[in-house]
């Protein structure tokens, strides 16, 4: 028996073993069948893909989080005790059980919430808040670019670190490509820097499919920012190939900042194995607003990100307005949207007119075509690239965060988003989306009926690998 025959035989044996694992790991029957067929018939191709993309849960993090819980239990009990006074509220009962599952701080009252539209407004506000920091700064983004706006942030972080403010900077190892010189400059100035990686051992190197997609800024435990903005010139519309950039962020002052702080606290502990000293005393705002800040990720026992979105959509009676750059839906999400439209709920979805990922665009057209037949209205945003992640449910809830509507964000990424039941927040988000729809083009269902056969084939073929995109 020659060496090639032995290698092929080994691949088939490993393929059979991986097919067995796929019965437990895959999220849907369709996914299970697809993996098993591929692993048995073409193991040389399917096995490497399965090792990277076939994991359902984030190995290591759950165990590490349990270790963190033991070490940090005193701090957590103190936080919960402080919030129990009069800051905890439960305005949306259909989210209550899910919030308990996440072990998050839940809805809090007495917050100030500001809606920030596009990069200019967002970055200037963030830089101003960083400049005012007195104790510490927690900055976490998926992508940090060393360009004009990136250097403005870096220079300010260095300045604050030298002045005695504690600065912690966390970014995803895959999302950000930061040179050693840039990192050394930050560290030399006293900035605590670390790259979030999903692996810490040999086995973990096969779970690079998990990304930390959160965008968080917390200053002094009192103010937080979250939404769709990473840090880079492209978010200011300075990339000619992308054009003007459309994004949305929230600035939150008050006890809800502690929820974002707790998320950063956990991520830093995973990345650095270090518990950082932070303030956990709530800073309530007089006559403030109710809001939920909810971190989710692959370490959750359940698919909390997907379940939260489905809970909101199922509660809708009049309207569901959505803005998202990517639209590749898990089956449950697709049917929930379709049913809402069939039952007379106004469902409007705002998508980019062009995209930074053609494969995702092809895959998304399958869902657009089908949902158009159910009465869902789709619009293409014309002025530039749409990157905001926003959802509006009736006059009951507004959601802003880092979550794209695709399997990666909803099922396997570390994400964070905020939900508010406050009328003025809902009104501001509604007015913003209405302005976006007014500069968008509604998609005619006939456009999809008349597409070339080759394009339809490409869309359906690409949709088969949607979970890997």
Task: Return d(Cα 357, Cα 97) in angstroms, integer.
Answer: 36
Residue 465 has a pLDDT of 63
Q: How many helices (H) and strands (E) does the chain have?
A: 16, 17
Quick one: which of 343, 360, 339, 342 has its CA closest to 351? 360
Among 301, 215, 299, which Cα is nearest to 264's? 215
How confident is the model over 282-334, as pLDDT tens digits? Answer: 888 988 899 999 999 887 878 899 999 999 999 999 999 999 999 999 889 99
- pLDDT tens for 143-198 read 999 999 999 999 999 999 999 999 999 999 888 889 999 999 999 999 999 998 76
The answer for residues whose C-beta is within 8 angstroms of residue 467's C-beta and 6 or more apart is 31, 53, 407, 408, 411
Q: Are 238 and 189 in contact (CB under 8 A)?
A: no
The residues annotated as belonging to the active site are 213, 215, 220, 387, 389, 394
What does the alpha-carbon distance between residue 211 and residue 198 come to, in Å, rounded to a whole number? Answer: 7
Total number of residues shown for the chain:
469
DSSP 390: E
Of 456, 464, 234, 468, residue with least CA distance to 356:
234
CA pseudo-torsion sign 2, 4, 7, 13:
negative
- Quick one: DSSP state of residue 199? -
CA atoms within 13 A of residue 456's CA, in its CB half-sphere = 9
Residue corresponding to tokens 């109710």: 290
Break the chain into its structural domains and give their ranges. Answer: 3-53, 61-87+109-289, 304-468
- Which carries the bigger pLDDT value, residue 318 or residue 464? 318
Say whether 304-468 and 61-87+109-289 share the same fold: yes
- pLDDT in the model for residue 30: 53
CATH architecture assigned to 304-468: 2-Layer Sandwich (3.30)
CATH 3.40.50.10860 fits 61-87+109-289, yes or no: no
Contacts of 287 (CB under 8 A, 6+ apart): 110
pLDDT on residue 202? 44
CA end-to-end span of the chain: 39
Given a cut of 50, whether residue 203 has pLDDT beyond it is: no
451: left (phi over 0), alpha (psi -120 to 50) or beta: beta
pTM of the model: 0.86
- Three-state DSSP at 322 gives strand
Cβ burial, residue 356 (10 Å; 0-12/13-18/19+): middle
Q: Which of 363, 370, 320, 309 has the alpha carbon at shortest distance from 343?
A: 320
The CA-CA-CA angle for residues 285, 288, 294, to 5°, reads 100
Tell me what the pLDDT averaged over the chain comes to.
85
Instruction: Name the pLDDT band for 102 (thresholds 50, 70, 90).
Output: confident
**Cβ atoms < 10 Å from Cβ of 243:** 14
Distance CA 247, CA 433 (A): 11
- Note the pLDDT of residue 456: 73
Which tokens go with 458? 């490409």
| Residue pointed to by tokens 């950039």 | 245
**Residues in contact with 163: Cβ distance below 8 Å, sequence separation at least 6, in sequence order:** none
Higher pLDDT, 135 or 102: 135
Q: DSSP string of 117-158?
A: EHHHHHHHHHHHHHHT-SSEEEEEES-B--SHHHHHHHHHHH
DSSP 1: -
């Amino acid at each position: 028996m020659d060496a090639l025959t032995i290698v092929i035989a080994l691949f088939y044996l490993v393929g059979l073993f991986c097919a067995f694992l796929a019965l437990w790991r895959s999220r849907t029957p369709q996914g299970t069948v697809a993996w098993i067929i591929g692993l048995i018939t073409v193991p040389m191709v399917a096995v490497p893909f399965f090792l990277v993309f076939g994991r359902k849960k984030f190995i290591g993090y759950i165990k590490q989080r349990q270790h963190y819980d033991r070490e940090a239990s005193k701090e957590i009990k103190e936080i919960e005790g402080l919030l129990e006074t009069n800051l905890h509220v439960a305005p949306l009962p259909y989210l209550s059980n899910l919030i308990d599952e996440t072990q998050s701080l839940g809805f809090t009252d007495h917050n100030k919430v500001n809606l920030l539209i596009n990069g200019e407004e967002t970055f200037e506000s963030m830089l101003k808040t960083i400049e005012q920091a007195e104790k510490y700064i927690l900055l976490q983004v998926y992508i940090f670019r060393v360009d004009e706006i990136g250097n403005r942030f870096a220079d300010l972080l260095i300045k604050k670190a030298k002045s005695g403010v504690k600065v912690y900077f966390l970014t995803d190892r895959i999302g950000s490509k930061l040179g050693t010189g840039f990192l050394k400059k930050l560290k030399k100035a006293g900035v605590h820097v670390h790259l979030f990686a999903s692996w810490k051992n040999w086995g973990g190197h096969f779970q690079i499919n998990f990304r930390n997609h959160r965008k968080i800024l917390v200053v002094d435990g009192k103010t937080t920012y979250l939404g769709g903005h990473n840090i880079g010139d492209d978010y200011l519309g300075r990339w000619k190939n992308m054009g003007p950039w459309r994004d949305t962020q929230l600035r939150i002052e008050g006890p809800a900042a502690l929820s974002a702080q707790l998320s950063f606290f956990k991520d830093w502990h995973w990345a650095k194995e270090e518990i950082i000293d932070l303030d956990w005393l709530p800073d309530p705002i007089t006559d403030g607003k109710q809001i939920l800040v909810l971190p989710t990720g692959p370490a959750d026992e359940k698919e909390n990100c997907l379940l939260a979105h489905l809970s909101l959509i199922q509660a809708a009676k009049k309207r569901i307005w959505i803005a998202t750059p990517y639209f590749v839906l898990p089956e449950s999400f697709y049917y929930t949207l379709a049913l809402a439209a069939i039952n007379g709920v106004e469902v409007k979805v705002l998508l980019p007119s062009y995209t930074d990922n053609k494969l995702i665009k092809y895959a998304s057209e399958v869902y657009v075509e089908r949902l158009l037949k159910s009465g869902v209205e789709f619009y293409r945003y014309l002025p530039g690239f749409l990157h905001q992640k926003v959802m509006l449910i009736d006059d009951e809830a507004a959601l802003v965060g880092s979550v794209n509507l695709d399997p990666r964000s909803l099922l396997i990424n570390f994400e964070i988003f905020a939900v508010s039941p406050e009328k003025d927040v809902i009104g501001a988000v509604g007015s913003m989306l209405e302005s976006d729809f007014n500069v968008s083009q509604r998609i005619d269902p006939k456009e999809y009926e008349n597409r070339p056969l080759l394009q339809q084939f490409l869309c359906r073929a690409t949709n088969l690998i949607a979970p890997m995109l």
